[in-house]
Amino acid sequence: MKARRVAVTGAGVVASCGIGKDAFWHGLLREPPEGSVLPIDDFDPAPYYANPKEVRRADRFQQFAEAAAHEALEQSGRPIADPLRTGVIIGTGIGGLITIEDQSYVRREKGPRRVSPFLIPMVMGNAPAAAVSMRYGFQGPCETVTTACATGTHAIANAARLISTGRCDAMIAGSTEAAMTETGVAGFTNMTALSSSGHSRPFDKRRDGFVMSEGAGVVVIEEWEQALARGATILGEVLGGASTADAHHITAPAPGGVGAIACMELALEEAGVGPSAISHINAHGTSTPLNDAAEADAIGKLFGTPGPPVTSIKGVTGHGLGAAGSIEAVSVLLTMQHRLIPPTMGHGDRDPEMAEINLVTGKPREWQPGPTLSNSFGFGGHNGCLVLAPPP
């Protein structure tokens, strides 16, 4: 990814701890509420649509994506690029589950003729990317990534490559998720993925599963010289990224974190930096017993002890599934802006059976921004890593 530099010029977020970057950042520094699910109760889609009819024809996961894209583009300003060289990659892990569940009820109770003719456009995973491209007239690659919890990280890394290799000059990239239906929650509960105690405790010895959440994160990225020429404010730089597969198990990580190690190594290689250059790691840190242990093991093996400071924001945000990686990319950009690493909320007791990492706990840690690694590891063995750097 050294052919052309990739600047981040805009960011938008919808998360359980805050809608919009300012509220989101303050939320990352507060104690989270209790509960095995963290819905976004105060989201209003109306400002992002022309009329109520448009709102009704968009599933909640699309609404989140359009809100985050709006904020990102408002901050960035419209990139000065050929529409054919401006694209959109917005992913999702599950898609329009709310609409599927609602319309399945309609069919059972009222018959098939009452099923909405907008069912398919509302549930398809590519609906958010298509909606953003149509709203703003972006005619370049318009794609969707679906790699479970690694989705957002993969979407941003893939979009950055389109810029670095010269195919595109600007991209809108991120991910979104809204799967908090009764059936969705029941499915995660019955596979014993959710916390039975109602607490997200990343890397803690008491961790017993993740807290489910929803939301979206979107960034505007563009070719570095173009961003400078139009006077855009550069928030950060995408140095590189990587994707690997564990090829091991549908939900459990590979023992010893071998897939995660390979992914982190490839991301650093693409970024052109070594482990010693990484000044901070945004961990996947879901609060599940196997995943946290595997990630800590991988970080310890690659970065040594004590290694760079590590945090997991899922102690506050919960796990946004397919949206998690892009929400966390926005958190990394804000961490650089504020020169402050948020603590891993919910963590109180180190697991003595887990590799020791330099975990930020208790209170925010002051920090001199530098290259930062953001990890995302998903069901199916999907591994995604992204290396971001602060603006000059």
Of 347, 354, 266, 341, give the one whose Cα is nearest residue 302. Answer: 266
Are 213 and 320 a contacting pair, CB within 8 Å? Answer: yes
User: Is 199 part of the annotated catalytic residue set?
Assistant: no
How many CB atoms lie under 10 A from the CB of residue 303? 19
- In this structure, what token pair is assigned to residue 29? 């520094």
pLDDT digits (tens, 9 = 90+) for 40-68: 999 999 999 999 999 999 999 999 999 99
**pLDDT number for residue 256:** 87
End-to-end distance of the chain based on CA atoms, in angstroms?
18
User: Is 154 part of the annotated catalytic residue set?
Assistant: no
Catalytic member of 149, 168, 263, 385 = 149
User: Per-domain residue ranges for the chain?
Assistant: 6-376
Question: What parts of the chain have a pLDDT lower than 50?
Answer: 1
In which residue are the tokens 């961990």 written? 283
pLDDT digits (tens, 9 = 90+) for 180-192: 999 999 999 999 9
Catalytic member of 280, 284, 347, 382 = 284
Are 326 and 155 a contacting pair, CB within 8 Å? Answer: yes
Of 101, 119, 103, 94, give the one whose Cα is nearest residue 178. Answer: 94
How many CB atoms lie under 10 A from the CB of residue 151? 33
Are 273 and 239 a contacting pair, CB within 8 Å? Answer: yes
User: Is 149 part of the annotated catalytic residue set?
Assistant: yes
- In this structure, what token pair is assigned to residue 264? 């982190």
- In this structure, what token pair is assigned to residue 142? 């318009």
**Phi, psi (deg, nearest 5) at residue 271:** -75, -15
According to CATH, what is the number of the domain 6-376? 3.40.47.10
**Which pairing describes strands 340-341 and 365-366: parallel, antiparallel, or unpaired?**
antiparallel
Cα–Cα distances in Å, from 247 out to 251, 255, 259, 365? 11, 11, 8, 36
Catalytic member of 154, 319, 347, 382 = 319
Segment (H or E) for 372: strand 372-378
pTM of the full structure? 0.97
